């Protein structure tokens, strides 16, 4: 009989542990059976949310890329300035990576959808355009300059025995030309973007990047021109003769200062030498006019502009000043001048950051911290003898010139000092050769005072000593302008300049060589200053209002000069006194760009010169 099979107890089925995820799945299934439409809408909503999150990530990443790009551009610029080719190359690689990333993000499907979104679509299109432009610059504009950076070291341009390596300067022409073309194309592409409807943050980003491109284009244009013109100026085809005019800021003129010490510089095959020196007073003994003044010049500056050699820079037009001084030089000294440089002692102090201290034969050495005081004040405290003043200033000019042309110290640092002098209006140049002058026209060093309007309004504040004295060594001033509105393509501009006579306690007893005491025509008490200030509007603009120390001038003296309105203001300052001029003006029609402020440079480091953002764009 078979054995009975033992009964096996079936184990109880274990219930799976409930979890939040499982409960959610069951609820979705139940909802799908009961209300399927709602589930579909929910799924669409989740996808939409995911797209928004993804779009936000793309926006954030693009913004980060553009920010990195600006940062790397600044690093690259700094590296090029200090002649660090390896640092510039590393920064370029980082720039290119950020630019390519931004371009990739803004050319995909997500960005195309963003461009179709109402309100934000214009902003997305603008960011895409900027990203593409900056990527093009990274591919085409930067490599030639960075490749050329290997040549641009302090040693590469170091003069040897008074000769500059013009062949290395010429080698910069082609790289600068290629980069200039790339940046020119980029700037043109950005100009085609209508940024008027961009929202605030995007507009600011666009403005910053657009400014980066336009400023780089300007710099490259100047580099390209310089690389072409410098070899010719340095006499690679024939000797060139330039007159170097040292302007004395202690006695201000619109152009910077009284033109005093004159040095004739000969340039041949890169070698530069001072071959003759004199003083402006030595070529001014014949006071017969050397040029015919215009009606405007006669009315504003008077006949003295053409009669007194030391007043040739009363006009802010450096081309005109150069023409007057050249005529006087050629009549008194003879010979042919190919061009003229204007420089002041503050710019000389900048140059001496590279040369280091310089010995002056027969006098104590000067350095970057003492040269301005020595030339513009101490020599006048020591003696009233004008011949000694002139001899000393010529000796300093020649000693510093020889140190620089002889390759003393760090030439790259000296060149950076000269660039700063140009930016502050302390160094200007004019060539009497039309081909060379055409190259520098429109650049900062040309110092033009044109009657042709541009998109950018030009505001000028020009200061002259009315004493005559050497008291502006103690004058300090600051100026500012801001654009406060834009209406029908014209901007309303408001600005001011504040003066402070920062004289020593013994101002009343300073030597006559400084105070002007006993000098024929002195108009002030010893220790006081009389300033004649010219405030000029943009071309085709107008001066609306003028105030002095808060009091509105009912009938300001308004003249016309080079298509501008000019307000003439007299300010007398006692020792330690302060006075303030305020003005309101309108730009000319169509001048919707950034405003440029130009102010006469003083006997102190720095400058109020500035570029002020336009009121015709939302920021």
pLDDT in tens, 146-182: 766 665 554 566 777 778 888 877 777 777 777 777 7
Residues 107, 212, single domain; the answer is yes
Answer yes or no: is pLDDT of 38 > 90: no
Contacts of 69 (CB under 8 A, 6+ apart): 95, 98, 99, 102, 134, 209
pLDDT tens for 593-610 read 999 999 999 999 999 999
Is position 322 within any domain?
A: yes
What is the average pLDDT value for the chain, to the nearest integer? 83
Most confidently modeled range among 300-314, 366-380, 518-532 = 366-380
Higher-scoring residue by pLDDT: 213, 59: 213
| Residue 53: pLDDT band with limits 50, 70, 90 | very low
Is position 44 within any domain?
A: no
Measured CA to CA, the distance from residue 263 to residue 285 in angstroms comes to 18
Residues 426, 563, single domain; the answer is no
Residues 82, 223, single domain; the answer is yes
Residues 289, 146, single domain; the answer is no
Q: What is the pLDDT of residue 150?
A: 61
Is position 555 within any domain?
A: yes
Q: What is the pLDDT of residue 201?
A: 58
Residues 357, 252, single domain; the answer is yes
Of 201, 233, 265, the residue at which a domain comes to its end is 233
Residues 285, 380, single domain; the answer is yes
Answer yes or no: is pLDDT of 330 > 80: yes
Is position 3 within any domain?
A: no
Mean pLDDT of 18-31: 55
Q: What is the pLDDT of residue 47?
A: 39
Measured CA to CA, the distance from residue 257 to residue 246 in angstroms comes to 9
Q: What is the pLDDT of residue 403?
A: 93
Mean pLDDT of 17-31: 55
Mean pLDDT of 246-252: 97
Answer yes or no: is pLDDT of 12 > 60: no
Is position 43 within any domain?
A: no
Is position 265 within any domain?
A: yes
Domain tally for the chain?
A: 3
In the structure encoding, which two tokens stand for residue 131, read together? 């990203």
Mean pLDDT of 540-547: 97
Q: What is the pLDDT of residue 491?
A: 97
Q: What is the pLDDT of residue 180?
A: 72
Residues 192, 278, single domain; the answer is no
Residues 113, 169, single domain; the answer is yes
| Residue 116: pLDDT band with limits 50, 70, 90 | low
**Helices 121-136 and 85-105: crossing angle, nearest 10°?**
140
Q: What is the pLDDT of residue 50?
A: 39
Answer yes or no: is pLDDT of 119 > 50: no
Residues 284, 366, single domain; the answer is yes
Measured CA to CA, the distance from residue 225 to residue 533 in angstroms comes to 34
Q: What is the pTM of this model?
A: 0.81
Measured CA to CA, the distance from residue 129 to residue 205 in angstroms comes to 12
Answer yes or no: is pLDDT of 40 > 70: no
| Residue 1: pLDDT band with limits 50, 70, 90 | very low
Cα 37 → chain centroid: 64
**Are the beta carbons of 581 and 497 closer than 8 angstroms?**
yes
Is position 529 within any domain?
A: yes
Query: Which of 90-104, 244-258, 375-389 shows the lowest per-residue confidence on average (mean pLDDT)?
Result: 90-104
**Helices 345-355 and 411-423: crossing angle, nearest 10°?**
160
Query: Which of 2-11, 131-140, 273-282 shows the lowest per-residue confidence on average (mean pLDDT)?
Result: 2-11
Q: What is the pLDDT of residue 173?
A: 77
Residues 79, 206, single domain; the answer is yes
Residues 371, 457, single domain; the answer is no
Query: Which of 131-135, 342-346, 533-537, 609-613 shows the lowest per-residue confidence on average (mean pLDDT)?
Result: 131-135
Q: What is the pLDDT of residue 46?
A: 44
pLDDT tens for 364-374 read 999 999 999 99
| Residue 57: pLDDT band with limits 50, 70, 90 | very low
Domain extent for 381: 240-437
Sheet holding 542-548, edge to edge: 475-487, 490-501, 578-586, 542-548, 551-552
Measured CA to CA, the distance from residue 574 to residue 528 in angstroms comes to 5
Higher-scoring residue by pLDDT: 15, 47: 15
Residues 228, 260, single domain; the answer is no
Q: What is the pLDDT of residue 51?
A: 39
Which H or E run includes 578? strand 578-586
């Amino acid at each position: 009989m078979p054995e009975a099979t033992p009964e096996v107890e079936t184990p109880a089925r274990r219930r799976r542990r409930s979890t939040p995820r499982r409960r959610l799945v069951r609820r979705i299934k139940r909802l799908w059976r009961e209300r399927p439409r709602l589930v579909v809408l929910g799924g669409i909503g989740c996808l939409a949310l995911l797209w928004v999150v993804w779009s936000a990530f793309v926006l954030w990443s693009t913004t980060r890329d553009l920010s990195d790009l600006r940062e790397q551009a600044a690093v690259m610029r700094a590296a090029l300035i200090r002649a660090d080719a390896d640092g510039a190359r590393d920064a370029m690689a980082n720039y290119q990576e950020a630019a390519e990333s931004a371009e990739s993000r803004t050319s995909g499907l997500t960005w195309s959808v963003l461009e179709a979104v109402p309100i934000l679509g214009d902003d997305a299109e603008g960011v895409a355009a900027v990203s593409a432009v900056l990527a093009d610059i990274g591919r085409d504009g930067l490599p030639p300059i960075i490749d050329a950076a290997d040549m641009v070291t302090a040693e590469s341009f170091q003069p040897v025995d008074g000769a500059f390596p013009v062949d290395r300067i010429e080698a910069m022409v082609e790289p600068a030309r290629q980069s200039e073309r790339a940046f020119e194309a980029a700037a043109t592409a950005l100009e085609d973007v209508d940024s008027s409807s961009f929202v605030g943050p995007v507009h600011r980003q666009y403005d910053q990047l657009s400014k980066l491109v336009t400023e780089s284009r300007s710099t490259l244009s100047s580099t390209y021109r310089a690389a072409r013109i410098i070899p010719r100026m340095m006499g690679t085809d024939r000797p060139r003769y330039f007159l170097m005019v040292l302007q004395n800021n202690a006695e201000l003129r619109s152009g910077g200062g009284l033109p005093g010490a004159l040095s004739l510089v000969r340039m041949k095959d890169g070698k530069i030498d001072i071959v003759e020196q004199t003083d402006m007073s030595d070529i001014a003994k014949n006071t017969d006019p050397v040029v015919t003044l215009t009606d405007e010049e006669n009315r504003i500056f008077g006949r003295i502009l053409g009669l007194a050699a030391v007043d040739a820079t009363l006009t802010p037009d450096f081309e005109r000043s150069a023409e007057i001084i050249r005529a006087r030089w050629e009549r008194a000294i003879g010979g042919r001048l190919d061009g003229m440089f204007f420089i002041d002692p503050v710019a000389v102090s900048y140059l001496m950051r590279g040369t280091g201290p310089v010995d002056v034969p027969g006098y104590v050495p000067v350095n970057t911290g003492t040269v301005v005081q020595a030339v513009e004040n101490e020599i006048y405290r020591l003696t009233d003898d004008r011949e000694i003043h002139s001899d000393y200033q010529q000796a300093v000019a020649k000693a510093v010139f020889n140190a620089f042309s002889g390759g003393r110290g760090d030439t790259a640092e000296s060149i950076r000092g000269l660039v700063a002098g140009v930016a502050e209006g302390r160094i200007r140049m004019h060539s009497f050769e039309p081909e060379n002058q055409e190259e520098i026209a429109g650049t900062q060093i040309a110092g033009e005072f044109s009657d042709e309007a541009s998109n950018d309004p030009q505001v000028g504040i020009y200061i002259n000593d009315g004493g005559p004295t050497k008291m502006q060594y103690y004058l300090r001033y600051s100026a500012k302008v801001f654009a406060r509105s834009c209406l029908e393509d014209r901007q309303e501009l408001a600005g001011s300049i504040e003066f402070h006579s920062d004289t020593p306690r013994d101002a009343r007893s300073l030597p006559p060589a400084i105070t002007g005491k006993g000098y024929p025509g002195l108009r002030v008490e010893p220790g006081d200053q009389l300033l004649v200030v010219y405030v000029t509007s943009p071309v085709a603009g107008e001066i609306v209002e003028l105030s002095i120390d808060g009091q509105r001038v009912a009938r300001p003296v308004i003249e016309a000069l080079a298509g501008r309105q000019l307000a003439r203001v007299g300010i007398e300052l006692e020792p330690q006194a302060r006075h303030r001029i305020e003005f309101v003006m309108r730009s000319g029609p169509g001048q919707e760009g950034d405003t440029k402020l130009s102010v006469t440079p003083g006997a102190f480091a720095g400058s109020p010169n500035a570029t002020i953002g336009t009121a015709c764009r939302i920021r």
